[in-house]
Chains A and B, each alone.
Chain A
């Protein structure tokens, strides 16, 4: 990526009085011929205000620079511009583990910057598709709604779609605390990228990392809500650059938590509108899909390399609207989604996962004989189909009343209720995959065996009967005296 022509130290030191026009987060320089696109500049006024910016566009008439820390205090008369780096780079080394940085990679934990082993362009490069290895290692998160119904595998990108006020952060923190396969927690590290996080949320995350005993296995890049918005565009890229280094150079299994992608997209929109670009849906730029993909696609495994990058981005759906451009474009890039439900949250279900719109595209690679259990795929399908049917009947009941329902319909209704209260709801407890699957079978015994058309006869014989004969009945059922 390095352009040899601009390595000369002479260029780095020279300063220019070039600023012509300042608007919002952008500074326009009078000529574009001095700096390459993507370069990082330093802007300094006579009274010592120092800012940094990145060159977005150059032409004969001007260069467009986005200023990271905001343009307050810059002027056209005394501001000098000098080239700092020819591209935005992050210094990486093993020493970043356990450290806290701001959105552009400067330490904020009061310690000096770690000595870098390499300076890496944070924009990254696309993984060659033929170099990619198929993600297929099951990650046990201990959460039934994920492990049983929407399994996460190493190298996957699986976002959490939340609404304002829903406990997405708690779910993510739970995943961080519990995730990992039992035998290799040693190689498991977490990279945390925060965009526009409030003080309270940031404190919550950092505390939860420490309490899980994983504090020294976490690298955090934190852009808080009162930090410059433009730095939000850099925070996830710094986080992923660190993650790629840890995974593909040092061989760690890296889990990347990015929160909140909605703040990232808003920063992107801010820059786009300052550049007077033609807005797309809801004012977001037309290239948002491409831009998001340069973040989300930086997950995966590489043939012959030990490590992996798994991403769990979190985003807030404005007004709980899944067709809003941010969740919509995210869903088109990521390999599934975990959707939180306000209705379940109100009922006290935790984690309040609305499993119907959830999906894990890579689930099939990670489950089945030898990975989880032979019945996993079909059991999950059956639970999905039965729960969806139960929900249909619940909706119908609200229109026609319970009296109009048949006996079978009532069984489905009871199943759906039990599924939400027992399978999805689990509080802070951790379930192994076996526990989750056994629970699934137990719940299925609420509906007649003939209804289980998604499951092979062999498996039904093996699991359905077994549990019935044991006489295992869930406490919920006793209460309902079914």
Chain B
């Protein structure tokens, strides 16, 4: 970011404590204002004001700084640059492109670097759609620019309105070239700047009605969320939060993905950067990286920038939503953000709330998740024209200390999120991935999505889902009994429930993220697989009623056949499934005949 400076209230550092500094002589600066701290010019943000002394969190390491060094206010709150050129980019928490930092300081990040988020030298082919003399308000489209595989709509910034006096003709422009002038001389560029902590305005929120499909059977079938919805993914370490977030980023049906790596591992980001350019976006056919924006603040990067990274990500996501896209935001992990808040609060010597977290934690988390939603985008409403709609889905990972969900971050997140995808260590221990605990997870979007699934999903979807839920419920009850009396004490019909539930766990709920055929499961495949399992259950039940013995049924090689269906590719799946169903029918009828002979 290139920032103006306000010379009239330059202050001096009077205290340095970790990532926090105090400066005096700063009468007139505002809460949230960005400061340039010290001779090195580190970025900071005002978080408390006491007369002419301010406390600020600094987004870089303060080591080596002296008291008395200057602090220069910039007059602007922490903001992001929005415009073409964000897609495919990798930024740090305060939106500096990591590749420019690499050019400036090599493989290790040094301090006091600045780099504009959007490359000023890139040229973009602008095609105007607004006309001279047209009255425009915030959110109206001035023109379009092709960006990767997307149409990037250049919008009038919110809060601006007027009559277009002159719009640039079709041609190539840089992001800070003037592309339109409004009456009164207001100049509009492709680049706009937006304060990250302020939600971008919309016309109104709409009810959600389409699912956020993930290609993960356990999520799509049992716990679906809506485009514009929210979900949290809590789990102790090693339960696969990051793999879930990355899998969603790969396969979900949103147009654009903003992935925030907040206080997590550097090697994980290396993984994404290595893998995503080679994967194909199922929607556009281009590289997956082209629909992805990474905001990365690894755990060893400065703590204060973790707070910024979450807001930077959500502001960028809102910007693409405002263009009419379905955007999904993955935040991994929100607990690290909460810990950053705790650390800053403790340096400010604020009265701590539960487990040392600040008392405003719940409010911050709620405000973050509430930036999601399906919306009618801000624009001039015209009779007869369909409104431009976009959505922002937020999936936040939570890292509860000791895997204990009763801790404050999980609990406050649960109160605002629309779904819980609870990851379970015991499932992860047996390499059951995704380790989503089906007894503990829930979704609140079932009702809203019912209509979509009954019209768009394969026939019988809702009934099959219900049968599955019942079966799993029954299994959970029986497991308790088994723990007391052992499996042999059960009747055959009950043991069949256990065996089928085991099949469901192994074949349906589990999914191999590293297998090409199984990593993504389309709705027809999900439905077909479930149908096969339930058909087995049904046939076995009927056989039992006809007096067959369970051990004979279990000896049939059917369960293995069904299990192998998982690894059949999407194209061949229907054929293979029909084959298995035929065999199933055949073998059960054989069994019955043998018995009667």
Instruction: Spell out A's residues near B (CB within 8 Å).
Output: 1-3, 5-6, 32-33, 35-39, 57-60, 86-87, 123-135, 155-156, 248, 277-281, 286-287, 289-290, 293-294, 297-300, 302-303, 305, 323-325, 328-329, 331-333, 335-337, 356-357, 359, 361-362, 364-365, 377, 380-381, 384-385, 388-389, 396, 399-401, 404-406, 409, 450, 453-454, 456-457
Knowing A323-B404, A453-B560 touch, does A38 contact B265 (C-beta < 8 A)? Answer: no
Are B487 and A289 touching (Cβ within 8 A)? no
In B557-575, the 8 Å CB interface with A consists of 557, 559-560, 563-564, 567
- Known contacts A59-B16, A133-B270; is A37 also within 8 Å of B430 by CB? no
Q: A129-B296, A130-B98, A356-B430 are in contact. Are A302 and B107 (CB under 8 A)?
A: yes
CB neighbours (8 Å) of B535 from chain A are: none
With a cutoff of 8 Å between Cβ atoms, the chain B residues found around residue A1 in the complex are 63-64, 110-111
Q: Which of B123-131, B174-182, B188-196, B299-307 contacts A (4 or more CB under 8 A)?
A: B299-307
What's the nearest-Cβ distance from chain B to residue A292, in Å? 8
Inter-chain CA distance A357–B431, complex, in Å, is 10
B429 and A406 contacting across the interface, CB-CB below 8 Å: no
Can you report 26 A-B residue pairs in the complex whose CB atoms are below 8 A from each other?
A32-B67, A33-B68, A36-B64, A36-B65, A36-B66, A37-B65, A87-B64, A123-B61, A124-B108, A126-B108, A126-B109, A128-B109, A129-B269, A129-B298, A286-B346, A287-B346, A290-B303, A293-B298, A323-B404, A357-B238, A385-B431, A388-B430, A388-B431, A404-B486, A450-B559, A457-B564
B7 part of interface (Cβ distance < 8 Å): no
With a 10 A CB-CB cut-off, give which of B90, B346, B352 has the most chain A CB atoms: B346
Instruction: Give the distance in Å from the alpha carbon of A38 to the alpha carbon of B273 in the complex.
Output: 34
What chain B residues lie within 8 Å of A3 (beta carbons)?
39-40, 64-66
Q: Given A129-B90, A130-B90, are A325 and B63 neighbors across the interface (CB < 8 Å)?
A: no
B200 at interface (Cβ–Cβ under 8 A)?
no
Q: What's the dominant secondary structure at chain B's contact region?
A: mixed
Cα A248 to Cα B471 in complex, Å, equals: 56
In angstroms, how far is the closest chain B Cβ from the Cβ of A337?
7
In the assembled complex, the CB of A112 is this many whole angstroms from the nearest CB of chain B, namely 29
A375 to chain B, nearest CB (A): 14
In the assembled complex, the Cα of A128 lies from the Cα of B270 at a distance in Å of 10
Contact of A38 among B64, B67, B237 (CB under 8 A): B64
Residues of B near any A CB (own CB < 8 A): 14-18, 22, 39-40, 61-68, 90, 98-99, 101-102, 105-111, 236-238, 261, 263, 265-267, 269-271, 273-274, 296, 298-301, 303, 336, 339, 342-343, 346, 352, 355-356, 399, 401-404, 425, 428-432, 482-489, 506-507, 514, 557, 559-560, 563-564, 567
- Who on chain A is nearest to B104 by CB? A128
Measured between C-beta atoms, what is the minimum distance from B347 to chain A in Å? 9
Chain A residues with CB under 8 Å of B67's CB are: 32-33, 58-60
- Which residues of chain B are within 8 angstroms of A37 by Cβ–Cβ distance? 16, 62-65
In the bound complex, what is the Cα–Cα distance between A37 and B37 (angstroms)? 14
Q: How many A-B residue pairs have CB under 8 A?
A: 239
Q: Are A278 and B65 in contact (CB under 8 A)?
A: no
Chain B residues within 8 Å of A6, by CB: 64, 66
Which residues of chain B come closer than 8 Å to A303, judged between CB atoms?
107
Are B266 and A406 interface neighbours, CB within 8 A? no
CB-CB under 8 A from A384, the residues of chain B are 429-431
**Set of chain A residues within 8 Å of B266, measured between Cβ atoms:** 126-127, 129, 132, 297, 300
> Most chain-A Cβ atoms within 10 A of its Cβ — which of B266, B273, B301, B356?
B266
Q: Which of B64, B98, B401 is the most central at the interface, judged by chain A CB atoms within 10 Å of its CB?
A: B64
Contact flag A377-B273 (CB < 8 Å), given A87-B63, A328-B237: no
Known: A127-B108, A278-B352. A400 touches B269 (CB 8 A): no
Q: Is B22 touching A59 in the complex (CB atoms < 8 A)?
A: yes
Report the separation of the CA atoms of residues A328 and B400 in the bound assembly, to the nearest whole angstrom: 10
Asked if A128 contacts B101 (CB within 8 A), the reply is yes
Leading 7 A-B pairs by shortest Cβ distance: A404-B486, A323-B402, A400-B486, A388-B430, A293-B299, A331-B237, A59-B15
